[in-house]
Chain A
Amino acid sequence: MNKATASTTTNRRLWGMIIKESLQIMRDPSSIAIAFILPVVLLFLFGYGVSLDAKHVPVGLVIEQPNAATASLSGAFEHSEYFKTSYFHSIQKAEMALDARRIDGIIWLKNNFSKQLLSAREPPIAVRVNGVNSNQAGITQGFIQGVWINWLEHFAQGQGRKLEMAVQMEQRVWFNPALTSTLFLVPGLVAIIMTLIGSMLTSMVVAREWDRGTMEAILVTPLHINEFLAGKLIPYFILGMFSMVFTVTLAIWQFEVPFRGSFWILLLASMLFMLVSLAIGLLISILSKNQFVAGQVSIIVSFLPAFILSGFIFDIQSMPDAIQIITHIVPARYFVAILQTLFLAGDVWPVLLSNMGALLLMLFIFTVIVRKKSNNHLE
């Protein structure tokens, strides 16, 4: 057999394997659901539904003796877009509403408030917030302070003097000036969706051959181990890249996330990440040889870490040191950093190159392990 015909038969065998895999994806409703439906659901939930930005926080105002001074303060809360105000006649009623979760905070002006205010005795404005959701409560406290400072300045002006805070702060938020959480969540979602396809779906693929006993049948065909692996992976690689393009398109056009980097870098980084995910998925399936175990293991070692340990929602620098070390072996960590930078900041080469270097290193390590394990297990 000469070289030309050998490569043609290789191509034909590979092609046959790819077609078989693609048909299996198309015909199994559960893989269609993971590859197409779940990404769309995630994208719409994160694009439209989920938000960390508190707006219209329901607060109760208890004003024991309403007059001009208290009216200006309650007006300040009413006009703030961050609050939805309601009035209570007594602090007991307001506390009951707080207990019943109808309101998230109380602003209480006692009956001697105005008198003390005018005689400059610094009356307290008692504020209570429901701290159960600590993150939201912290943000709400910040908003209340903001309203209070504005009111103080306004009040001082009304008295014909200027209230001078000793130090005044000017803040500049780069990349996301309005601090909209959608702009930060949606780019990271690309990594989650590609992990779903690359690791979770793929891990079940080789495992399925063992489960159904077709692995032995494939092993006795002339198919070479490399052709087998390539044939398995190419359809999922294409599927993953397709979902990346789809997600990025929706992110930019539908959810209006700015894209400030270059598309070629995104493409390159996505290909790297997809290959790492596929290698991990393949490794899981080779080691577990069983769809059920493969599915469970891939949720625990790839899906959940991509969600929690990648910086997608939770800030890595705030985690305990031991956990921070673990995050270094989560490939999504590097890809999420690349995505957030490419979308919001632009081509920041030190960030992009170091994270892509890390992905390349992971790809190398996992490929070596997969090669070794697949030789042991498959031949």
Chain B
Amino acid sequence: MILTQLQAIFALAIKEFLALLRDKRSRMVLIGPPIAQLLVFGYAATFDLNHVPVAIYNEDTGIVSRDFISRLQGSPNFKIIQSIHKDADIAPLIDNKKALLVLHIDPRFSNNLQKNIPAHVQIILDGRNSNTAMIALNYMQSLLMDFNLNWAKLHGTSKPPATLKIRAWYNENLQSRWFIISGIIAILTLVVTLTVTALSVARERESGTFDQLLVTPLTPLQILIGKALPGIVIGIIEASFIIVAAVYWFDIPLRGNLGALYLGLFLFLLSAVGVGLMISAIATTQQQAVLGAFLFLVPAVILSGFATPIANMPEIIQWLTYIDPLRYILIIIRGVFLEGDSYTLLFNQYWQMAIIGIVSLATAGWLFRKRMY
């Protein structure tokens, strides 16, 4: 009895696979977009600044200011594009986005330093992109601090009474690629799984075969499982492909337990498939299914902590993120990849995602029976 039931589910799952893979367009959707997105995201999405265009306005004629500028020149973060000689030149450079930063060195710079009086520099920043400005400001501050500490060491003037030794854990050189690409694994997997499952019922409904499916001896539960299986299998394959690319192409360290990662992925796919089938059950056409998936995806990605941290959001919106399955899988993937986490540290993420999966699948099953037209 159970065997025949399993056979029925299996047959439906096979039919789903064939429906998906026989169509050239659907095959393309599974392969083309994820690769394109992986490459574009992987290379373009970076918060690291290289070659920040800097203009130098040096009013000082001494040798120390030249030493200071050569430190700037030596840093890979900055690129000196121009020297200017009057105040009026600053505004056009910043306004026209020629320079992100203007370094203005006071006329008494070298003089003051040699007399042990504090010397002054002023920096003017283009704040239009606040994040870039903030990072450039930080780079500049560290550069200055190095200079100051070095100066104090060489000239024996007032040393700071305590030193600061900062170390970053898990992503030692603070490369944003490690952060972004680990996030892409989850996002691309979600996109593909959601599109595949969202289209599955909508396609049958458009061609009228869903009614036929409902009058077969299959129970709604069996239909649900048969429709969910291909989504999960394809999601696992897609995720594995991107994980391989992340490790071998982009050199992201994989420090934790693969089992913990795949357990997370499986639970994540349960909720992805659940949401996809819910959309599919509501949509009457394939177009509505695609747009519905898109409508879920955009807020889900924004609220997931993929690019902007959840901790920075207002409290009400933080609550909203608890129903976003991406939130949990991002913690799991980044935890396993970068922090080397194993099952115990991720337990909280697992059970919360499992609840989302069960609730969404149950709702999808309920919607199957509710919407029979």
Contact = CB atoms under 8 A, between A and B. Distances in A.
Nearest to A346: B95
B147 interface: yes
B145 to A, nearest CB: 7
Nearest to A149: B145
A169 B130 contact: no
Contacts of A320: 43-44
Contact of A315 (B49, B109, B147): B49
Nearest to B77: A318
A322 B98 CA distance: 20
Interface string B94-119: 11110010000000010001001111
Interface in A291-314: 291-293, 295-296, 299-300, 304-305, 308-309, 311, 313-314
A98 B169 contact: yes
Interface string A125-165: 11111111111111101101110110010011000011111
A33 B294 CA distance: 10
B169 A130 contact: yes
B124 A174 contact: yes
A372 to B, nearest CB: 25
A228 interface: no
B128 A314 contact: no
B132 interface: yes
B141 A142 contact: yes
A145 B288 CA distance: 52
A296 B199 CA distance: 13
Interface stretch (A180-188, A215-223, A244-252): A180-188
Given A50-B313, A120-B159, A317-B52, 13 more contacts: A37-B295, A48-B317, A52-B312, A122-B160, A125-B165, A128-B168, A129-B168, A133-B309, A142-B142, A165-B148, A170-B123, A300-B37, A319-B44
A19 interface: no
Interface string A326-349: 010000000001001100110010
Interface stretch (A3-11, A38-46, A267-275, A363-371): A38-46
Contacts of B52: 317
A68 interface: no
16 contacts: A50-B302, A124-B165, A125-B163, A132-B179, A132-B339, A137-B168, A142-B134, A145-B142, A167-B148, A172-B122, A292-B199, A296-B195, A304-B37, A319-B46, A323-B43, A341-B128
Interface in A160-201: 161-177, 179-181, 183-184
B74 interface: no
A202 to B, nearest CB: 13
B166 A141 contact: yes
A87 B164 CA distance: 19
Contacts of A163: 158, 160-161
B258 interface: no
A332 to B, nearest CB: 13
Contacts of B116: 164
A351 interface: yes
Given A167-B151, A170-B122, A125 B162 contact: yes
Contacts of B215: none
B179 A344 contact: no
A234 interface: no
B137 A171 contact: yes
A31 B132 CA distance: 36
Contacts of A57: 311
Given A125-B164, A131-B170, A166 B40 contact: no
B291 interface: yes
A128 B141 CA distance: 19
B295 A38 contact: yes
Nearest to A309: B44
A41 B60 CA distance: 52
A77 to B, nearest CB: 12
A292 B216 CA distance: 29
B78 to A, nearest CB: 12
Interface string B51-69: 1110000000000000010
Contacts of B312: 50-55
B176 interface: yes
B287 A208 contact: yes
B309 A136 contact: yes
A167 B309 contact: no
Contacts of A177: 127
A49 interface: yes
A135 B92 CA distance: 29
